[in-house]
Chain A
Amino acid sequence: MGRIAEALRKAQTEKAGRSTLGIGPAWAQAGLAAEAGEPGLDAHRPGRRSMGFKSERSAPVIDPPDQASDVHMPPPFWDVHPTIMTVRERSSPITEQYRAARTWLLRRSAPSGKNCVAVTSSVAREGKSVTTANLAAIMAEVRHMKVLAIDCDIRQGSLARLFRISNEPGISEVMAGRATLASAIQTTPLGNLFVLPAGECHDINSTELLNSTAASTMFAQIRDRFDYVLVDTPPVQCLSDVGVIGALCTGLILVVRMNKTPAHLVRQSAHWLQANNLNILGCIAADCSARGARYEYDVNGGD
C-alpha cells in the first residue's frame, strides 16, 4: 500500500509539473478531460470538405480547431459498420475498453504531440482495421484533437467499408499522383476524425511508393497537420509494407487475436519488427471472449 500511494503521489506531481511547464500537448489535457465525460464531437455528416490544403502537392492546411463548445451536443447518427462499437454504442463495455486503450496511448504519446501510430498484426483477420477504426473514433472524442485514420492496406483496405465512406480516391491514388491528399482525406460526422481510405488503385507497387521521398513528405505533412494519426497496415506475415510504414510512424501497435492466431507467428512477427528497429508500443489483445482470458491465473494467490 505504501508503494502504491507513493506511485500515485509521484504521478500527480508529474502531472502538475507538466501542466505548469507546458509539457505535452494541450489536447492531452483536454483528452483526459474528455475521458471524464466531455464529448467533443462536431455534428458533421461524412463527406468531402475543404481541409485547407494549399495545393494538391503541398501539405494540407488544416483549419484551426473549433472552439470548444460549452453546450453538450448529442452524438450524430452515423451508420458505420456494426463492429465500430465506439461510434454505435458509446457506453458499451467494449467502448470503455477502447477508452482505456486511448488513455494508455495518450499517456505514452510523443512530447511533440505529433503521433503517428501504425496498427498491425501477424496475420490477416486479427482485427487491425476494426481496432484502428475504433481507436480513431475514440481518439476523436478528445476535444481539439484532430485524428486521421489512414488505410495503408492498399490491397485489402477495409477502413472505407467500416466507416461506410467512399474508398476512392485514397492513399493509393495520392501516392500514384492521381489525386491530391486534400481531396483524398474524407471528413466524418465526428468532427475531429478524418479518414484517408486505401483507394482503388491496386496496380501500383505500394512498397516502392511508400519507400519514396514523396511518401515521407506526405507522412510528414500529415503528422504536422493532425494531432494523432492511426495507420492501418497489412499483416506482417503477408507483406513487408509494415516495415516501411512503421519507419514512417512513431510507433506500432501489435494486435493479437486471442484463441486464434498461432503464438509462434505472433512471436515471429514481433521479433521481425524489433529486428527492423521499429518501436512497438504494445499489443492489444482482441477477441477476449473466453472466460479467464482477461485475467490470468496467478499461482501466488491471485485469480
Chain B
Amino acid sequence: MQHHHHIDEFSVTDVRHTLQEMGRVLMARKWFFLFPFCIVSSIACICSLYAPRQYSASTVIKREHDPVFASLRRKNWNKAYDDVRARMSADLTDPAFVRKVLDRANLPVGAERFGDGTMSPGGDATRNSLAMQIASGLSVKMLEASESRDVMRITLTLADHSRIPEILKLLRESYMEHARVETIAVMENVHQFLKAEASRCEADIARIGGRVREMEAKYPGVDPLAIDPLAAERTALIVERIDLRRRLDDLTARRSQLEGRMVAARGSAESESAQAPRMIEEPNPRYAELLNELKGLEEKLIACRTRKGMTEAHPEVRAARAMMEERGLELAQTQRLILTPEKSASGADSQKSLGELERELAETLENAALLKSRSEAVETRLAEVEALRILSVEQRTPFMELSEQKRRLEAGLADWRGEIAPIENALYLEGSGRSIHFATVEEPGSAMKPVSPDALLVLAICFGIGLGTAVLTVVTVELCDRSYRTVKQVTTSLGLPLIESIDEIVTPLAFRRRLVRGMLVTPILGFIFVVMVSLSGLMAYYSLERPEDYARMRGRATHVSELFARQG
C-alpha cells in the first residue's frame, strides 16, 4: 500500500509539473507559437481556396400510371412497369445511358472534333470521362414509392457547376423517354415471346391431336371417355341374336305344330272318332317378357353410353349391365315353349287342308333357314367386334398418355393466350399515350454553392495544420535550446556551488523598449496576425458557404486594387 501511495504521489506531481512546464514553455515561446500558427493557418486557408470543389443540384420527378389505364389494367400485367420501376436508379446512373444523353446533346462542347463535326478519339475519351464523372456523381433518392406513383429526387454532383442544371435537365428528359421506350420494349418482347410459345403449343396440339384421331379411328372405343361405337354395335348384335333365337324357336314350335296338325289331319282322315283333348306346345309368356326386358335394358345402356356419355364405371351403366346379366341367366333357365291342353279347334284350323299345312310348313322351314344364316352372320360379326374391342383396350394406355399430353398443351396454350390479351391491351394503351405520366415536380436550382468540401472541416484542417506547425516549432525550438533553465541544472551540471542567482537587470532603456514592444509592437503584430488569420479564414469559409458573397468580395478587392494601380 505504501508503494502504491508513493506511485500515486509521483504521478500527480508529475502531471502538475508537466502542465507547469507546458505553460512555462508556451509563455516563453509564445511568438514561436503564434507566428507559425498564424502564418501557416493563413497559408492553409488561402490554399484551401484552390482545393477542388464539388457542386450539386437536384430535380424531382414524379412517375404515375394513367388512372384510366390503371383501372383497366388492374393487376393483369404489371411486370414491365415493375421492372422499369426497379431499374430506375440503375438506369439513371448507367454510364451507357449518360453517354447516350451526352451524344444526343453533343456534349461536351469543347471536346476535340474532326472537321465534319464528328468526335475525334480524344474528344471521345473526353466524353467518356465526362460520362463516367456524371454517372458517379448521380444519385437517386426515392421520396415516395408505390405501385401507382413514384417520386424521386435526382441529384448530380460535379466539379464544374456551370453545366450541372443543363445536364440534369437533359438526363431527366432523356430518362422519361427512355422509361417509356424501355417499357414498351419489354412488353413487346414479352408479347413476342408469349405468341411464340402459343404457336409452339398449337403446333404440338395439332400433332398430338392427329395421332389421337388416328388411334381413335384405328381402335374404336379406345377412348374410355368417348362414345364406344363397338359397344353399341355389339349390343345391337346381341339383341338381334336373341331376337333371332326367339324367332327360330317360334319357327321350330310352328313347325312342330304344323307337323302335329299334319299328322292329326292325316289321322282324322283315318279315324273320325273323337278322342280326348290333346296337349299342345305354346310359347312361354315369361320368356317373351324377359326378352322385352333385355331389349329395354339394351336400349337404356346404349342411351347411357351414347347420349348421356356415361362410362362403364358409371353406377347406372353398371346397374344396367348387372340387370342384363341377371335377366340373361333367367332367360337361359326359362323354357321357350310350354305344354297346354288343346283348345276346341277352331273351324278354320280344323278345316285347313293337308296341302295348306304342308305349304305353311315349307314356308316355316324356309324362314327358319334364313334366320339361321342371319344368326350365323351375327355371331361372326359379334366375334369380330369382341376382338376389336380387346385390341382397343390394349391401346388405351398410350392413348390416355397422348390425351393427357394434349390436355396439358391445351392448358398451356390457354395460359399463354390469357397472358397475351392483357399485354396487347397494355401495348394498345401505350401506343395511345395513356400508360405512364412523368411530371417534373422541382426544377434543378442553382449549383453555385459547393457541397464538398465542408467549410467547417476545411477550417478545422487549416487551423489544425497551423496548430501542429506551431506546436512542432515550439517543441523544436525547446529541444534545440540547450541553455540552463534552473539553477538546479547549473549546479548539478557543473558540480560547482552557486554563489547567487541574480535577476535580470532591466535598464530604463530596456524597460522603455519593452514598454514600446508590449504596448505598440505586440498589439500591432497581434492585430495583423488576427486580421490575417480572420481574413484568410473568412475567405475560405465564404468561398465554400457563401460563394456569391465571396465573388462580390473578390470583385471589390480587384476593383480597389485596380484603382490603386491606376492612381499609382
Contacts and interface: CB of A to CB of B under 8 A. Distances in A.
A284 B507 CA distance: 20
A85 B505 contact: yes
Interface string B1-34: 0000000001001100100100010001000000
A246 to B, nearest CB: 14
Contact of A104 (B487, B500, B508): B500
A228 to B, nearest CB: 14
B510 to A, nearest CB: 8
A83 B507 contact: yes
Given A83-B507, A104-B499, A258 B483 contact: yes
A2 interface: no
Contact of A261 (B484, B504, B505): B484
A262 B485 CA distance: 10
Interface stretch (B54-62, B252-260, B364-372, B488-496): B488-496
A283 interface: yes
Given A261-B484, A270-B496, A290-B28, A256 B508 contact: no
A184 B14 CA distance: 57
A259 B505 CA distance: 14
A185 interface: no
B489 to A, nearest CB: 7
B494 A285 contact: no
B484 A285 contact: yes
A254 B501 contact: no
Contacts of B496: 254, 270, 280, 282-283
B503 interface: yes
Q: Is the interface of A mostly helix, strand, loop or mixed?
A: mixed
Interface residues on A, range: 35 or more
A297 to B, nearest CB: 6
A97 B484 contact: no
Contact of A263 (B491, B493, B505): B493
B485 A284 contact: no
A289 interface: yes
A300 to B, nearest CB: 9
B502 interface: yes
Contact of A282 (B17, B493, B498): B498
A294 interface: yes
Nearest to A99: B500
B504 A283 contact: no
B503 A288 contact: yes
A266 interface: yes
Contacts of B486: 258, 292-297
B497 interface: yes
A299 interface: yes
Given A290-B28, A296-B488, A97 B500 contact: yes
Interface in B452-505: 481-491, 493-505
A285 B490 contact: yes
B502 A97 contact: yes
B487 A290 contact: no
A3 interface: no
Contacts of B501: 97, 258, 284-286, 288, 293-294
A219 B486 CA distance: 36
Interface string A93-119: 110011011001100000000000000
Contact of B24 (A93, A253, A288, A291): A291
A94 B502 contact: yes
Interface in A112-129: 127
A125 to B, nearest CB: 13
Contacts of A261: 483-484
Interface in A44-86: 81-83, 85
Given A281-B499, A283-B494, A299-B13, A83 B483 contact: no
Contacts of A104: 499-500
A259 to B, nearest CB: 5
Interface of B: 10, 13-14, 17, 20, 24, 28, 481-491, 493-505, 507-509
Interface of A: 81-83, 85, 93-94, 97-98, 100-101, 104-105, 127, 130-131, 253-254, 256-264, 266-267, 270, 280-297, 299
9 contacts: A85-B505, A94-B505, A105-B499, A260-B483, A282-B498, A285-B498, A285-B500, A288-B487, A289-B504
Complex A-B, nearest 9 residue pairs according to Cβ-Cβ distance, in ascending order: A296-B488, A289-B504, A101-B500, A82-B507, A285-B501, A282-B499, A282-B497, A296-B486, A288-B501
